[in-house]
Amino acid sequence: MSNGKRMFPCPVCVDPREVRKTKKGKPYFICDPCGIQVFVRGPAGIDAFNKLADQAGDAGLWARIGEMQRRYRLRCPECGHRFWIEPRLIQTSIFDGSLRGFRCPREDCGATVPWEEE
């Protein structure tokens, strides 16, 4: 919960969004930047969603999401585009085949985001 409000991560950008209720008491949330609207219907779905949303109130979920973003969601140093790493974006060295990083998925950007191991 943030400021007493139930929050749930957007499935696209993973940013926390406020869980609201419809006039009939069914949960939903909206992520305006992504254009996502999630409306939960049916008793089984509402029950399952409420359990997930209650768990999201625990700091553990947000910590796990933050760690995932830190490791697997990169920002292009040239164009600033944020993207999740995926196999098709792997950039390797032509000399020894080692991993150099991940290519920015924007067609108009040829930058490579270096892979930093911990």
Closest by CA to 23, choosing from 3, 39, 7, is 39
Residues 6 or more apart in contact with residue 9 via CB below 8 angstroms:
15, 16, 17, 56, 61, 65
User: Exposed, middle or buried: residue 8 (CB in 10 Å: 0-12, 13-18, 19+)?
Assistant: buried
Q: How confident is the model at residue 67 (pLDDT cuts 50, 70, 90)?
A: confident
Chain centroid to CA 105? 17
pLDDT of residue 3: 61
pLDDT score at 68? 78
Q: What is the DSSP letter of 95?
A: T
Confidence of residue 14 (pLDDT cuts 50, 70, 90): confident
Mean pLDDT of 33-39: 91
